[in-house]
Structure 1
Amino acid sequence: MPGVGKVNCTNFELDTSTVEREKTRRTRLYYTALTANLAFFSCGASLSWTSPTLPQLQSEQSWLKGVDNEVASLIASFLMLGAAVGPVVAGLLLNNVGRKKTLISSTALHLFSWIVLGFAASAEVIYLARFIQGVAVAIVFTAVPMYVGEIAERTMRAALASSSEVFLALGYMLEYSIGPYVGYTILIFVSSIMPLVTFILFFCIPESPHFMLAKGNKNKAMKDLRWLRGNVSVTAAKREIAMIQASLEQGLHSGQQSKFQELIGSPGCVKALYLSCGLMLLQQFSGINVVLFYAQPIFMKTGASLSPSVSAMIVGAVQLISACITPALVKRFGFKTPLAFSALGMCLAQGILGMYFFFEDLKYDMQFWGWLPVTSLMLYIHVYCLGFGPLPWAFLGEIFPPNVKEFASGLCTSFSFFLAFLITKFFVNISDILGTYAAFWIFSGFCVFAFLFVLFLMPNTRGLSLPEIQDLLNGRPITRLDRIPEEAPVKNAGTNNLI
């Protein structure tokens, strides 16, 4: 019969080409975003380094004498003090040298801080190294969400940004699993390997097309964008470039106003500011940095059946597993639902932990309940990683318009780490004055506020482009922008190479 057995080769070839291009497109974007997020591994190691190290420094065999609770709290909290200053450095770098060179600078600072720690001969030198480490951490927390938010397509932006928690958890796990079993110098050597690897890899990622356009280099912006999108056609790339350009030009109406005046002069920017700072405040007052910095000392206080080092490792493992779930969860539900669920879970976990310490202070026999602190912190870490860990930072990367993004991101990051400094520094003092249980109950109460904040104040930005988010915040009608058409890649366009 006529027509029987015929195959539509043209359609088959087109479909195959489309599939291959989509694979290339996603592979390049995943590679770039995950390489950028790799910087969070070093942050995780820096943040949790004190957990196994402080017990060693406070032991009788320590090479550093006179490390009492006050000195230990300063060693832990000086990182946060540096991190409160770091966003100022990040803002200057982001605006003047670009996202890529800013990330390279952060890894160089991380490496330098580990070298200083390795050769430290006094507590004062350790303070200095931790301060430098904090500056590096703040640069990462400011720059990476912004960079990933600018390079990612709208459908993958939230998931790629939330993957930062996976690398943070890997950094925590490194310190928790190796720190208790090796000496001070060896742990520093191991911790410095990843910053070196990241430093090298950062030279192999493209600059943000947003930054190149802002600096007037349209050709480089086009080249980097086409590489990130799997060599889409020139027409499709020009269309996205035009959208980015329109978004940038929207912020040029302010003339000679300062960045602060621009920030407080727009209703959308003011709303973005209080939403971001609110999430940062509630994230810090959930008690996360107390758990990370003092995980092993907390377990030493409980006298649990498991050793403190093993308990800390279990918490780190839970954090890693939970962080791997978060990107898929965010892709399915967006930001709001995971944040609300996270707040309720953290409230329960911190409340139970406070109750354990309350009954312990009343001299009840808690031997049977020795498993409860580990279980409570496992629950806390699990739900924290599903929401309030990565999502405030991912939200920060997409909520501000281009004209104030560097300044506003730096301001929110400084605010977050200054709060972290206060909480980390004075947790020991509050525990001594009011009791450890009171500190954890305070954290639990703030988690209730976190739930209400997310439920009633957080907008739903799921599936919106960056310009559409600004329409939402400013109360303007949202005009859905069409997606870039699926077109075959242009051959021999000279954009196959990254550099």
Structure 2
Amino acid sequence: PRSRAVQLLLQVALLCTARFIQGMSLGLGAVVCPIYNEEIADARVRGSLGVIYDLMLTVGILWVYTAGASLPYLWLNISSAFTAVLSAILLFFIPESPVHLLLKNRTKEAEDALRWLRSKKRDNYDPSQEIRSLQRLVDKTKVDLQSRSLTSLNPASLTGVFTAKNFTGPTAKSFYIILSLLVLRQLGGINALTFYTVDIFREAGSSLSPYVSTAVLGLVEFLMTLATFAFVDRLGRRTLLLLSSVLMGACLAGIPLHGYLKVLGYDVTLVEWLPLVLLALYLCAFSVGFGPIPWFMMAELVPTESKGWVTGVVVTVNWLALFLVTQLFPGMVVSIGSAGTFLVYGVLNIVAAVFVFACVPETRGKTIEMIQVELGGKF
């Protein structure tokens, strides 16, 4: 018995260590990937390219939902590890960010990187105009960093934002906006509902298999995120965020209706599909707005000299908010019931819509320089 206990303890320790390393990797990717996408993308397709990060998350979720129902736990983890190894290998074949290269005064390499990124016929592409635009941004960044390093309070640092007279500067504004978007994204209940989808369908008493319903939702989320490519650069970020939050609030407010009618004694046989349809619509609304957009707006709004600490802080707060929401969800269900929990999330999504309407600027089709000029105005 003692040897079995020691073996079990070692397995738990190994699992926790692996989860910790995995979490560190995911956190690093959440910071670096949106920034890299923003720095290599043409302004006309920056939104579409930014969607890729969230799209790959939905691919992973869909894979776990479907394969997890049939594959043994060991082989499911091996398949996920294979994807990570393949990604690491492919990274050797992509260029460094042109912005990073210009910051290091490696202009020739930045030009080569742009040729690689912009055209299959690399010899026919002239990167000089784009290099000049990026160089102006980089020069401004260097001047800002140099001037701020001469003062005791550095607005490009975390303490500087809150102690210097920089509450209306681009760094502070972008910090407040992105932090609020990511926190509201979690408070809208997406990860709580994702983690407890099977339990939600089981409690709703739907005749559909909870596991089948969960796989269907994963497929819906993937397809809608994929569809976002078509209109994120046409409708704009602000419009999609508003539409997304309002629809999510309406869907979550409607989910308890099925259970409420059942408690009242009504025959709900003909509407057994209602929880699944409303959750699917909720995921559709999330996937076209609050799913992908906050991630790449983080890279669009934050000034280059502040990207490191701003993205690090807001992503950390995002994961903390995710942890709190998922931990509080079971207690909320016990305390105020499923109906009350869904209504709370619905109201928080409406709060998110109000925030977007009042504070979030439109960045569609604008260069990094134009965005920073707008953020330099009054909030």
Normalised-by-shorter TM-score class = 0.7 to 0.9
Q: Quick check: 1:450 aligned with 2:317?
A: no
Partners of 2:30 and 2:315 within 8 A in 1: yes
- The 5 A counterparts of 1:303-452 are 303-359=205-261, 366-452=268-354
Q: Supply the distance in 2 between the matched residues of 1:198 and 1:467 (Cα, whole angstroms).
A: 32
Q: Cα deviations across residues 197-247 of structure 1 (Å, max 9, x unaligned)?
A: 111111111111111222333332232233223343364354234233234
2:72 corresponds to which residue? 183
2:144 corresponds to which residue? 251
Partners of 1:304 and 1:367 within 8 A in 2: no
TM-score, structure 2 length as denominator?
0.88
Q: Cα deviations across residues 317-337 of structure 1 (Å, max 9, x unaligned)?
A: 111110111122111011011
Partners of 1:251 and 1:402 within 8 A in 2: no
Identify if the C-alpha distance between structure 1 residues 237 and 334 changes in structure 2 by more than 3 Å, giving closer, same or farther. closer
Unaligned runs of 5+ in 1: 1-63, 66-118, 477-499
Partners of 2:102 and 2:135 within 8 A in 1: no
Deviation at 1:411, TM superposition (A): 0.8
2:86 pairs, out of 174, 190, 197, with: 197
1:239 corresponds to which residue? 132
Deviation at 1:412, TM superposition (A): 0.8
SS of the residue 2:69 aligns to: helix
1:260 corresponds to which residue? 158
RMSD, matched Cα: 2.4
2:25 corresponds to which residue? 136
Deviating more after overlay: 314-323 vs 360-369: 360-369
SS of the residue 2:271 aligns to: coil
Q: Quick check: 1:464 aligned with 2:358?
A: no
- The 5 A counterparts of 1:155-166 are 155-166=44-55
Partners of 1:254 and 1:262 within 8 A in 2: no
Deviation at 1:362, TM superposition (A): 6.4
Q: Supply the distance in 2 between the matched residues of 1:424 and 1:464 (Cα, whole angstroms).
A: 36
Q: Give the aligned residue type for 1:470.
A: Q
Identify if the C-alpha distance between structure 1 residues 161 and 179 changes in structure 2 by more than 3 Å, giving closer, same or farther. same
Identify if the C-alpha distance between structure 1 residues 234 and 195 changes in structure 2 by more than 3 Å, giving closer, same or farther. closer
Q: Cα deviations across residues 313-354 of structure 1 (Å, max 9, x unaligned)?
A: 110111111011112211101101111110111011111123
How many residue pairs match? The answer is 360
Q: Supply the distance in 2 between the matched residues of 1:251 and 1:297 (Cα, whole angstroms).
A: 52
Q: Supply the distance in 1 between the matched residues of 2:262 and 2:144 (Cα, whole angstroms).
A: 57
Deviation at 1:380, TM superposition (A): 0.5
2:42 corresponds to which residue? 153
Q: Give the aligned residue type for 2:328.
A: F
Q: Supply the distance in 2 between the matched residues of 1:172 and 1:395 (Cα, whole angstroms).
A: 23
Deviation at 1:356, TM superposition (A): 3.3
Partners of 2:300 and 2:363 within 8 A in 1: no
Structure with more of its chain in helix, by fraction: 2
Which structure has the larger Rg?
1
Q: Cα deviations across residues 394-440 of structure 1 (Å, max 9, x unaligned)?
A: 11011011111111011111111110000111211221222122221
1:301 pairs, out of 203, 206, 226, with: 203
SS of the residue 1:163 aligns to: helix
Deviation at 1:249, TM superposition (A): 2.7
Q: Supply the distance in 2 between the matched residues of 1:218 and 1:262 (Cα, whole angstroms).
A: 31
Partners of 1:170 and 1:320 within 8 A in 2: yes
Q: Give the aligned residue type for 2:207.
A: S
Deviation at 1:194, TM superposition (A): 1.2
SS of the residue 1:305 aligns to: coil
